[in-house]
């Protein structure tokens, strides 16, 4: 009887704690592994997802609810003040502005940076026999493959393509560029470092890498052309009325992110997806 009473009391206290927690709604996407995607069991995961979940798990008064939306719609909901936060925007305080005057950023503040993404040039080693110190000028005459619609290569690169100084072929996704590189049909790609490494790992684990790489071609990172940091961005539209807990949450969240950076936990999370 005593044990039963303890179980009832424990259940009551746990239920009270759960009910007392403030649920925070965060809109995100699931289309860019390993940052945010669905695993084989259909569960949302990824670097950004797991970093946020870990931080919020250490904030007893809060629990997080992720909602998957197309990016344009996610931005729209934040702009209207319909959702608390969006994950993981770059810093857009200068160009994501309200339509009504006086125009001002509709996302503010941004959290501490969760992770720094790097845009890189990756080539097979044969294409790098000559030094490539200047991007994109030193890549003249090479054949590139890229993800269709991906504009990270930059204006100077595009101009060289238009002038037929660089040959460029598009694929519908990032993974599809890899067989062309390791089979020797293409020389280089411009891509995001961590997602590219994630796809390479998947291909090696599945045996696809060996299938396409009959000549044992080695891929190397030739240059870093830019970097961008991903954040948790908070809606700043009617936030006092809609999200009275906003100031408390943002402060506590940043403290947890700072701790996770300092003790190496964010790196550990990244390593879970890409080694």
Query: pLDDT by residue (tens digit) across 240-272?
Result: 999 999 999 999 999 999 999 999 999 999 999
Q: What angle do CA 66, 72, 75 make, to 5 degrees?
A: 60
Intrachain domains 2-114+231-273 and 117-228 with the same fold: yes
Confidence of residue 148 (pLDDT cuts 50, 70, 90): confident
Region 40-60 average pLDDT: 97
Per the CB < 8 A criterion, the answer to whether 168 and 180 are in contact is no
Give me the pLDDT at residue 10, please. Answer: 43
> Considering the chain, what is the average pLDDT of its residues?
92
- CB crowding 19-38: b at 16 or more within 10 Å, else e: eeeeebebbbbbebbbbbbe
Q: Say if residue 18's pLDDT is above 90.
A: no
The predicted model scores a pTM of 0.83
What CATH number should be reported for the domain whose range is 117-228? 3.40.190.10
Q: Where are the domains of the chain?
A: 2-114+231-273, 117-228
18 to each of 49, 56, 185, how far by Cα in Å?
21, 14, 56
Q: Give CA–CA dist 261/252, Å, rounded.
A: 14
> Topology of domain 2-114+231-273, per CATH?
D-Maltodextrin-Binding Protein; domain 2 (3.40.190)
Say whether 203 sits in a helix, a strand or coil: helix
Confidence of residue 20 (pLDDT cuts 50, 70, 90): confident
Query: What Rg do the C-alpha atoms of the chain give, in angstroms?
Result: 23
Q: Give CA–CA dist 182/214, Å, rounded.
A: 8
Per the CB < 8 A criterion, the answer to whether 174 and 122 are in contact is no
For 64, residues 6+ apart whose C-beta sits below 8 A from its C-beta are 23, 24, 26, 52, 53, 56
For 261, residues 6+ apart whose C-beta sits below 8 A from its C-beta are 112
């Amino acid at each position: 009887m005593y044990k039963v009473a303890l179980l009832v009391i424990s259940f009551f206290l746990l239920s009270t704690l759960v009910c007392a927690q403030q649920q925070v709604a965060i809109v995100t996407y699931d289309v860019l592994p390993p940052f945010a995607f669905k695993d084989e069991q259909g569960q949302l995961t990824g670097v950004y997802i797991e970093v946020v979940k870990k931080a919020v798990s250490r904030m007893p008064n809060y629990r997080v609810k992720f909602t998957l939306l197309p990016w344009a719609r996610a931005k729209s909901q934040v702009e209207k003040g319909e959702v608390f936060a969006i994950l993981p925007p770059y810093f857009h305080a200068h160009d994501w502005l309200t339509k009504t005057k006086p125009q001002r950023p509709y996302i503010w503040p941004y959290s501490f940076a969760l992770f720094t993404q790097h845009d890189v040039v990756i080539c097979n080693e044969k294409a790098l026999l000559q030094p490539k110190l200047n991007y994109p000028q030193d890549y003249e005459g090479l054949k590139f493959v890229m993800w269709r619609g991906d504009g990270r290569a930059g204006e100077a690169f595009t101009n060289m393509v238009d002038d037929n100084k660089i040959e460029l072929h598009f694929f519908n996704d990032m993974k599809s560029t890899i067989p062309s590189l390791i089979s020797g049909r293409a020389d280089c790609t411009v891509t995001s470092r961590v997602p590219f490494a994630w796809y390479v790992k998947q291909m090696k684990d599945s045996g696809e890498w060996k299938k396409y790489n009959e000549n044992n071609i080695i891929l190397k990172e030739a240059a870093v052309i830019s970097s961008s940091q991903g954040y948790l961005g908070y809606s700043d539209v009617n936030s006092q009325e809609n999200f009275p807990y906003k100031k408390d949450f943002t402060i506590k969240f940043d403290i947890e992110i700072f701790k996770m950076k300092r003790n190496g936990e964010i790196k550990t999370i990244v390593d879970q997806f890409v080694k």
